[in-house]
Amino acid sequence: MKNKNIFDKKYFELTGCVHNHTEHSFDAQVKLSKIIKAAKKNELDYLTINDHHTLAAREDEAVIKENDLIVIVGAEINDPQKNNHFLVFNTDEIVRGKEAKEYIQRYADSDAICFAAHPFEKRASKLFRKYIWTNKNNDNFDGIEIWNYLSEWIGKLNPKLNGLLFVIFPSLFVKKPLRETLDYWDELNNVGKRRSAIGSVDAHSERIEKFGIKFSFLTHKTMFSSIRTNVLIPEDIPIDQQNILKALKNGNSYIVNYKVGNPYDFYAGIASSKDDNAIFGNELQFSQNMYFYFRLPKIARIKLYRNGKKITSKLDEKGRFEITQKGNYRLEIYRFGYGWIFTNNIYII
């Protein structure tokens, strides 16, 4: 956890990995105690568990006894066709065997906090099926997983052509979110629905067997050093599960690929001459002399988006963009062709 001062306001920044599977899930075999140990080695502040159709991890002794790492246990829901994967938090209800429209509405009518998981996927090989969002009108959720490490990795994997490279150097092939996902997210924000964005790892710890020897790859430990969602919480608010979930829901956060670089002194936000300012997820009244400020630890390509359209960019490590009209503003930041940082929107009204 870091202390950050943005426009003379003090925040705690917590870094965490969203969407992890444990031995409580049908498709993973890793003990929660081992996952927590790996998270601490990677200096995570929080972790979310999203096992398929179960909240059993809440009763795991490793979670009950953990005092340092904040472990948030939710679940991952899907329809009978295994599409429309949905990350749910802040609920005790597990909906099984229902179509997406029904469970999305049921959770929306409750106090649950929910995110559409890997809504759009691609596959280079027919050996692997896609798990997609089948109806874009089913959008009654809090946010979207705009970048999923495992989804992108599998999407480019073709075992006959590049399988060995993908196992040995997996992060070389995880470059940036799908533009289709970003476009969908922008579409929802452009009509005033204000959906937040999260990034995730979707860690299971994969295994293969060759010559009688079992190999593990894409382990939780490896993936914890990749895509994270960092949240910003005001200094006067308690650091707990509920406030982390609230920050994720409101978009007081940004997605960062730590394989590209540690964003240790990154900050960004919009401020005007009236001393009014806003960070990600917040809104601000439009005025003259308004700028989107940013600072990075390294030179990178910073792209400014308004209402989902790139309007300008620059190669720098510190600077600002002038804001001349109302709209939804966010940054996409790249280094060496790889996506590094993707911020949530700031809404200029």
pTM over 0.85: yes
pLDDT score at 61? 96
pLDDT of residue 160 exceeding 60, the answer is: yes
Tokens of 105: 């509405």
Q: pLDDT tens across 169-223, in order?
A: 999 999 999 999 999 999 999 999 999 999 999 999 876 665 566 677 899 999 9
pLDDT band at residue 275 under the 50/70/90 scheme: confident
Specify the 3-state DSSP secondary structure of 63. Answer: helix
pLDDT score at 319? 97
Q: pLDDT tens across 179-190, in order?
A: 999 999 999 999
Q: What domains lie within the chain, and their CATH numbers?
A: 2-257 (3.20.20.140), 267-348 (2.60.40)
If you ran DSSP here, which 8-state letter would residue 222 be given? H
Element (H, E) at 241: helix 241-250
Burial of residue 141 (number of CB atoms within 10 Å: 0-12, 13-18, 19+):
buried
d(CA 137, CA 281): 23
Residue pair 182/328 in contact by the 8 Å Cβ criterion:
no
d(CA 342, CA 189): 15
- Tell me, what amino acid is at 90? N
Averaged pLDDT score across all residues of the chain: 95
Please report where in the chains the tokens 């050996």 appear, as a residue.
127
CA distances from 348 to 13, 56, 190 (A): 23, 42, 12
Backbone angles phi, psi at 255, to 5 degrees: -100, 135
